[in-house]
């Protein structure tokens, strides 16, 4: 009785094994617990493969029709929650094929002609990652739109620009928001580039060497929306570059989200008060009733760790593998699944926070005028109006900053006599450049913070996103 049971357990493997696997081996070997997420891609690939087998005369049209209908039944069972996933069948491929054979009998056994699980999983996984690239692009576009709306609202609102988290020069709120639009646009292009590169179909590469059956790989590639079949069967089954590219793009994107999350944490603090986050994205304290914690931003800041960890993990899996397929590569999917889920959740949460946040315009403007933020404007004026070399202008401005700091005031508060004490050529005209509004309006170079430049960039991005 035991021998019969063991033989049944290995029916999908064939006659090579006389006894069943140990329970622990079954547990470590099985991937159905996570790769069942590939069911839709697996069934789509199998339907395309069956249609091609019939078109090339490898199986009969009747068998292909039975396979196609049977696979749709399997799909409906999975989506309806009535399908039983079996660990003894290892993975999604054998689970689907076994159920198909239960449903239609002999024709189901012909489905695997001219292919292997090696090219099958490579195809399924590419299809899944390709879908995730599309989802990421869509999520990024929505987030870019949220930042763009903030930029348009505050195109001429002044705020401090920072280097080293110290006040540097006045900038506009719109300009700061557009910086993230630029970052996210690069993320979007990375996913698009990765999608284009991965859009080749491994199906038909079989185990590693191709197949002796007269298959039409171009037909299956076209049916599955690929640009072409992969050109080398060894590379086809051993390549996971597409997953690594997706993870790499996800890591860079998550880093960008983490940077803005950090700004939200700082800006929403009582010390800054640059923005207000609504109750949707904050939590309270169990003992301090006054607290309003930016937990969503803090969690987003941490999500990079998971995504970057998945990236490092898959690089580590792949780095020492000789061609072609090794079972190590089964460890690719959980990393990618988790990273994709984390990224999509992060994009959705960040879009919600950016759309919902309220900037405190008055505080931004007051802060923009602090920390001698127009010192560079003063130095530039000395160069333009008096013809000083910039290094000398820098020195003169520095001495005036020291004077203002000693007096406990800002540069515009110094009297003309105090200004001329640093250089006799300074005139009343200098006050025209010392206000923060004048400062930002003067930065009118392409890509600068001047409101006119900001509005031009907003118009460009609105057209592109539309």
201 DSSP 8-state letter: E
Diameter of the chain by CA atoms? 106
Backbone angles phi, psi at 169, to 5 degrees: -145, 155
Q: What percent of the chain has pLDDT over 70?
A: 94
Q: Does the pLDDT at position 10 exceed 60? A: no
pTM of the model: 0.89
More confident residue, 312 or 30: 312
Q: Please return the burial class of 319, using the count of CB atoms within 10 Å of its CB with bins 0-12, 13-18 and 19+.
A: exposed
First to last CA, the chain: 67
Q: Using an 8 Å Cβ cutoff, are 395 and 190 in contact?
A: no
d(CA 133, CA 128): 9
- pLDDT tier, 2 (very low <50, low <70, confident <90, very high otherwise): very low
Contact call for residues 388 and 396 (beta carbons, < 8 A): yes
pLDDT digits (tens, 9 = 90+) for 166-176: 888 899 999 99
Distance, in Å, from the CA atom of 130 to the CA atom of 452, rounded to the nearest integer, reads 39
Distance, in Å, from the CA atom of 296 to the CA atom of 291, rounded to the nearest integer, reads 14
Q: What does each C-alpha distance from 421 to 91, 169, 426, 447 come to in angstroms?
A: 81, 24, 9, 36
| Cα-based torsion angle of the residue sequence 87, 91, 92, 98 in order, rounded to the nearest 10 degrees | -70
**Averaged pLDDT of the chain:** 92
pLDDT at residue 4 tops 60: no
Structure tokens at 456: 């031009």
Task: Please state, for a pLDDT cut of 90, what percent of the chain lies above it.
Answer: 77
Least confident of 31-45, 169-183, 346-360, 369-383: 369-383
pLDDT above 50: residue 5:
no
243/206 Cα distance (integer angstroms): 20
Contact 349, 297 (CB under 8 A): no
State which H helix or E strand residue 89 sits in.
Answer: none
Q: Is the dihedral of CA 307, 284, 143, 160 positive or negative?
A: negative
Confidence tier at 377 by pLDDT (50, 70, 90): confident
Task: Name the band, by pLDDT with cuts 50, 70 and 90, for residue 375.
Answer: confident
What average pLDDT score do residues 432-442 get? 87
pLDDT at 6 over 50: no
Query: Which position has the higher pLDDT, 51 or 369?
Result: 51
Which residue, 375, 462, 444, is CA-closest to 167?
Answer: 375
Evaluate whether 347 touches 138 at the Cβ level (below 8 Å). Answer: no
b/e map of 232-245 (b: 16 or more CB within 10 Å)? ebebbbbbbebbbb
pLDDT tens digit sequence for 217-257: 999 999 999 999 999 999 999 999 999 999 999 999 999 99
pLDDT at 398: 92
Residue 128 neighbours by CB under 8 Å, 6+ apart: 37, 38, 41
Q: Angle at CA 21, nearest 5°, toward 18 and 26?
A: 155
Which residues are catalytic, by number?
164, 285
What's the rounded Cα separation, in Å, for the pair 145 and 460? Answer: 12
Q: Of 190, 194, 188, whose CA–CA distance to 145 is shortest?
A: 188
CA angle 49, 55, 57 (to 5 degrees): 105
pLDDT in tens, 11-51: 555 555 555 667 788 788 888 999 999 999 999 999 999 99
Number of helices followed by number of strands (H, E) in the chain? 20, 6
Each residue of 92-120: pLDDT tens digit? 999 999 999 999 999 999 999 999 999 99
Q: Which residues contact 21 (CB under 8 A, 6 or more apart)?
A: 9, 10, 29
pLDDT at 303: 94
């Amino acid at each position: 009785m035991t021998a019969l049971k063991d033989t049944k357990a290995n029916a999908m493997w064939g006659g090579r094994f006389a006894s069943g696997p140990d329970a622990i081996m079954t547990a470590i070997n099985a991937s159905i617990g996570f790769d069942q997420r590939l069911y839709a891609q697996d069934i789509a690939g199998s339907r395309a493969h069956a249609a091609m087998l019939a078109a090339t005369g490898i199986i009969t049209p009747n068998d292909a029709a039975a396979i196609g209908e049977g696979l749709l039944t399997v799909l409906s069972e999975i989506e309806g929650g009535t399908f039983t996933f079996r660990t003894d069948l290892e993975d999604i491929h054998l689970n689907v094929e076994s159920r198909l054979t239960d449903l239609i009998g002999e024709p189901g056994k012909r489905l695997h002609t001219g292919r292997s699980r090696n090219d099958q999983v490579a195809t399924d996984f590419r299809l899944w990652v390709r879908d995730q690239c599309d989802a990421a692009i869509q999520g990024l576009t929505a987030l870019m739109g949220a930042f763009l709306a903030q930029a348009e609202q505050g195109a001429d609102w002044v705020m401090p620009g920072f280097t080293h988290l110290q006040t540097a020069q006045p900038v506009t709120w719109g300009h700061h928001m557009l910086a993230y639009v630029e970052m996210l646009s690069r993320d979007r292009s990375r996913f698009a580039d990765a999608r284009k590169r991965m859009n080749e179909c491994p199906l038909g590469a079989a185990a590693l060497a191709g197949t002796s059956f007269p298959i039409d790989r171009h037909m299956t590639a076209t049916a599955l929306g690929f640009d072409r079949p992969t050109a080398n069967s060894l590379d086809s089954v051993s390549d996971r570059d597409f997953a690594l590219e997706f993870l790499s793009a996800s890591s860079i994107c998550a880093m960008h989200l983490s940077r803005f999350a950090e700004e939200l944490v700082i800006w929403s603090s009582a010390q800054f008060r640059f923005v207000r986050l609504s109750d949707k994205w904050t939590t309270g304290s169990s003992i301090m009733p006054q607290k309003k914690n930016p937990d969503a931003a803090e969690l987003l800041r941490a999500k990079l760790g998971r995504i970057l960890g998945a990236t490092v993990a898959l690089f580590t899996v792949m780095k020492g593998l000789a061609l072609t397929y090794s079972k190590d590569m089964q460890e690719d999917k959980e990393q990618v699944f988790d990273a994709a889920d984390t990224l999509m959740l992060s994009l959705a949460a960040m879009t919600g926070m950016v759309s919902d946040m309220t900037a405190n315009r008055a505080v931004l403007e007051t802060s923009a005028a602090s920390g001698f933020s127009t010192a560079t404007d003063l130095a530039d004026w000395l160069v333009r109006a008096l013809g000083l070399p910039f290094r000398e202008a820098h020195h003169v401005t520095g001495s005036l900053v020291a004077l203002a700091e000693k007096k406990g005031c800002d540069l515009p508060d110094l009297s003309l006599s105090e200004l001329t004490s640093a250089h006799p050529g300074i005139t009343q005209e200098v006050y025209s450049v010392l206000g923060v509004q004048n400062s930002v309006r003067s930065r009118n170079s392409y890509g600068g913070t001047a409101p006119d430049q900001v509005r031009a960039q907003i118009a460009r991005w609105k057209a592109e996103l539309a």
